[in-house]
Amino acid sequence: MCKLTFLIFVGALLAAGCDTGSPSDDPDAGGDAGNDAAGTDPDQGIDWEPCPLYVDQPAGLLAECATIDVPLRWSEPDGPTIGIFVQRLAAGTQPARGQLWLLEGGPGGSGADFDAFMDGFRALDPTLDLYAVDHRGVGRSARLSCPDEETGASDWSISVSPGEAAACLDAVEAVWGDDLDEFTATAAARDLGRLIEVAAEPGKDVFVYGVSYGTYWAHRYLQIHPDQATAVILDSIAPPGEDFVHYDADMDAAAQDFLALCAEDSLCSSKLGGDPWAAVGDLLATIEAGGHCPAITTTWGIDAPSARTVLAYLLMSPTTRTYLPAFVYRLARCDDADAVALDHLLDILFGTPETTYYDTLSSDALFYNVALSELWPDPEAHPTVGEIDAIEAGLYVTTGLSPRVAAVQDTWPAYPDDSYVEAWAKTATPLLMMNGDLDPMTPIWVGAEAAKHLTGERQWFYTIPRAAHCVVNQTPVAVQGDTPCGLRIMLDFLADPTTEPDTACLAEIPEEAFVGDPAINAYLLGTSDLWENGAAAPPALARPPAPLLRALREIRRLAGRAIAPS
Would you say 102 and 85 are in contact if contact means Cβ atoms under 8 Å apart? no
Outline where DSSP puts E strands in 28-93. 49-50, 64-71, 81-89
Q: For 346, phi and psi rounded to 5 degrees? A: -65, -35
Going from the C-alpha of 343 to that of each of 338, 490, 524, 564, the distances in angstroms are: 8, 39, 10, 10
d(CA 243, CA 442): 11
Give the mean pLDDT of the chain.
88
Over its C-alpha atoms, the chain yields an Rg (Å, rounded) of 23
Q: How many CB atoms within 10 Å of residue 507?
A: 8
- Whole-prediction pTM value? 0.91
Cα 18 to chain centroid distance, Å, stands at 6
Would you say 211 and 17 are in contact if contact means Cβ atoms under 8 Å apart? no
Average pLDDT over residues 27-39: 35
Helix (H, G, I), strand (E, B) or coil at 426: coil
- pLDDT tens across 340-396, in order? 999 999 988 887 544 443 456 899 999 999 999 999 999 889 999 999 999 999 999
- pLDDT tens across 63-115, in order? 899 999 999 999 999 999 999 999 999 999 989 999 999 999 999 999 988 98
> Which long-range contacts does 46-49 make (Cβ < 8 Å, 24+ apart)?
46/198, 46/199, 48/88
Residue 419 has pLDDT above 60, yes or no: yes
Q: Which helix (H) or strand (E) holds 210?
A: strand 205-212
Write the CB contacts of 153 (distance below 8 Å, at least 6 apart in sequence): none
Residue 290 has pLDDT above 50, yes or no: yes
Residue 303: pLDDT band by 50, 70, 90 thresholds? very high
Pick the CATH number of 68-151+183-244+419-508 from 1.10.260.40, 3.20.20.80, 3.50.50.60, 3.40.50.1820: 3.40.50.1820
The segment with the largest mean pLDDT, out of 51-65, 112-126, 171-185, is 171-185
User: Any alpha helices (H) in 97-184, and if so which ranges?
Assistant: 115-124, 165-176
Would you say 237 and 450 are in contact if contact means Cβ atoms under 8 Å apart? yes
Residue 45 has pLDDT above 60, yes or no: yes
Q: Which helix (H) or strand (E) holds 279?
A: helix 276-289
d(CA 262, CA 268): 5
d(CA 465, CA 113): 25
d(CA 503, CA 45): 39
- pLDDT tens across 455-473, in order? 999 999 999 999 999 999 9
Q: If you ran DSSP here, which 8-state letter would residue 504 be given?
A: G
- pLDDT tens across 141-185, in order? 999 999 999 887 887 877 899 999 999 999 999 999 999 999 999
Give the model's pLDDT for residue 8.
38
Average pLDDT over residues 304-325: 95
Point out the least confidently predicted range of 305-309, 406-410, 547-551.
547-551
Give the model's pLDDT for residue 28.
33
- Domain boundaries of the chain, sorted by first residue: 68-151+183-244+419-508
